[in-house]
Amino acid sequence: MSRWFLMVWLLSIYVTGNSQSVDITNAKSINKPFVEAMQSKFKQGDSVLYLEYRHNNAIISFSTRSPNPLYSYRVGALFEQTITTCDSFIVLPNLPNGELLFEVRDARQPTEKPARLKIIVEAPLWLRWWFLPMMFLYGLVFVSALLYLFYRYRIRQFLRLQQTRDRIARDLHDDMGSYLSSISILSRSAALNTTRDPDRAQQSIERIGQTARQVMGAMSDIVWSINPDHDSMEKVVARMRDVANELFADTGTTVSLDADPTVLSLSLPLEKRHDFFLIFKEALTNTARYAEATQVRVRLQREGATLLLIIQDNGRGFDVARPKASSGGGNGLKNMHKRAENIGGTLQINSVAGQGTTVTLVV
């Protein structure tokens, strides 16, 4: 019989020591000024309270069935010592990021099971473990993309410059080869006709001099066009005036060159300046040779982002469809159209017999 009473007594001690007389009735964040309010989702019986880093002030309420309550609580990872109070709530300000464990029990029954609430304060994005590796990865991708784009830009610049150099070298080879071949043939003709036909030999010598001057002019144009100091349109216009005055110096033809002030502020890079100038010079050379004009007018004007070169004369004109028959050759016109394509422009030639010619280049 005594054994039976002993078992009942031990069971009552076990049940009393493991019962929970304190309940957590409410837990919520305390809203901060100037921060968007956070709605509490805690319900009595929940074991976890989630807080954002902007709402890390919490108030926890609890209750007990005892008539004169006395509570003891502690917050693991925040303070380990046990605090005793008669208040049925606790305010936890500025909670750190991470997980905290809140425990509260009846202070008069230290052996009873405490009521527990896990508090999880979510860290901001920049404090989470994956943020720095992700930013490093993004930074690496961004820097790699910049380096790749810079590499592509440099390659395009190099290829464009190389194409310009190849084109200039090709023009130099073709022009110089043609001029030097002419000088060689004319010098041989002059040597053969020195005694037999002095007049013909004199003509050959004069043509040699003319061809040599053309060689010098072509070399001067190439050297001028590749000089980076001549990128400004003001330098280009000055060079165009010099060429126009030289071509019509002894012809009695009146030449005028007008450039809008907005044109002078432009800049022509090497790859465009070379072909632009040679189109102008070829058009003016054809006018001087074949047009028999008394007036030549050159205009440079700007329409938005477009540059216009207009060359007009009052000469005899020619048949645009049959330039060889009208002007003594058609290779010059083909070269002008080809150069216009090279710089991304269009060339239009209008001519009427007896009314002159108009050459329009749009770049």
DSSP assignment, residue 252? -
Q: What's the confidence (pLDDT) of residue 8?
A: 46
What φ, ψ does residue 143 adopt, rounded to 5°? -65, -40
> What is the per-residue pLDDT for 146?
94
Q: Which pTM does this prediction carry? A: 0.51
Q: Are 312 and 356 in contact (CB under 8 A)?
A: yes
What's the pLDDT tens digit per position in 53-75?
A: 888 889 999 998 888 889 999 99
Tell me the average pLDDT across 246-269.
81
Looking at domain 17-124, its CATH superfamily turns out to be Immunoglobulins (2.60.40.10)
Interhelix angle 198-225/131-196, rounded to 10 degrees, is: 170
pLDDT at 144: 94
Strands 58-64, 22-29: parallel, antiparallel or unpaired by DSSP? Answer: antiparallel
CATH class, 228-363 region: alpha beta
CATH topology match: 17-124 vs 228-363 = no
pLDDT, tens digit (0-9, with 9 covering 90-100), for 161-187: 777 777 777 766 666 666 676 677 767
Per mean pLDDT, which of 4-13, 76-85, 138-147, 163-172 is the most reliable?
A: 138-147
> Is pLDDT at 51 greater than 70 in this prediction?
yes
Q: Do the Cβ atoms of 60 and 89 come closer than 8 Å?
A: yes
Mean pLDDT, rounded, for 229-237? 74
The ranges assigned to domains in the chain are 17-124, 129-226, 228-363
Cβ pair 138, 45 in contact under 8 A: no
The strand pairing partners of 313, in sequence order, are 296, 357
Six-digit token string for 151: 């590499």
